[in-house]
Amino acid sequence: MADEALELSELKGEFRKKVNELLPEGNLNLCFTCGTCASGCPATGLENMDPRKFVRMIALGLDDEVTSTPWVWMCSMCQRCIYACPMNVDIPRMVYLARQAWPREERPKGILGSCDMALRNDSCSAMGASPEDFQFVVEDVAEEVRENHPGFETLQAPIDKEGAYFFLNQNSREPVTEPDEMIPLWKILHLAGADWTYGSKGWGGENYCMFLADSDAWEHIVRTSIKQAEDLGCKVYLNTE
């Protein structure tokens, strides 16, 4: 029985081992369960879980519980816990690793669907809007502003303007369902005299693939957007999300 117990105990803690390998400076072993992380976490109490419990479960080798709790999908990755923690324990990275343990098709359908929509074309829009559709909407709304908004007769909402100082991305929902919501920011940029542009590629401002813990898709979206900004010669990347 002793040998059997030892063998079973050695099977536990594989997730903890993975955390220590991938996050050598994650300071998992430095946690002294003060609970500071839990006190400021928006997800504390959901699913009877909080960041302190999550870290202790990892440290105790409770792999099944760590990699199956739906609480990891309620974390917003705000990183408030890291800033509050006196030992700088990197809890969001641990949450990300726990999300990766879920089969992709079993991850939350809303996040999964938005990630997959963003991979449909080079817009990287979580709504799946194409570069052509985006350009049509932007040009149409900008024309409406010039015609009907006094004081903004010369307003421009450029797309793929080479050499613009700012590369601006956009929440995907607005051009698809609420295009008028784009106007206030355009007016601010116009009044400030900002030199800016959208990109026909990589204009989608959100990245649901990050929240899905799909690293390859996350990287693809980021690279597509940054490459467009670089190809246009923009100096500053403005992320509206």
**Residue 151 — left, alpha, or beta (φ > 0 → left; ψ -120 to 50 → alpha)?**
left
Sheet arrangement for strand 166-168 = 196-197, 166-168, 236-238
Give me the CATH code for the 2-102 domain, please: 1.10.1060.10
Domain layout of the chain by residue ranges: 2-102, 109-238
Q: What is the pLDDT of residues 32-64, one digit of tens each?
A: 889 999 998 999 999 999 999 999 999 888 999
Mean pLDDT of 70-74: 97
Sign of CA dihedral 77, 215, 127, 168: positive
What residue type is 78 in one-letter code?
A: C
pLDDT at residue 197 is higher than 60: yes
The pLDDT value given to residue 96: 94
Mean pLDDT of 110-135: 96
Mean pLDDT of 208-229: 97
User: Which band of pLDDT confidence, cut at 50, 70 and 90, is reported for residue 5?
Assistant: very low
- Distance (Å, rounded) from C-alpha 227 to C-alpha 159? 15
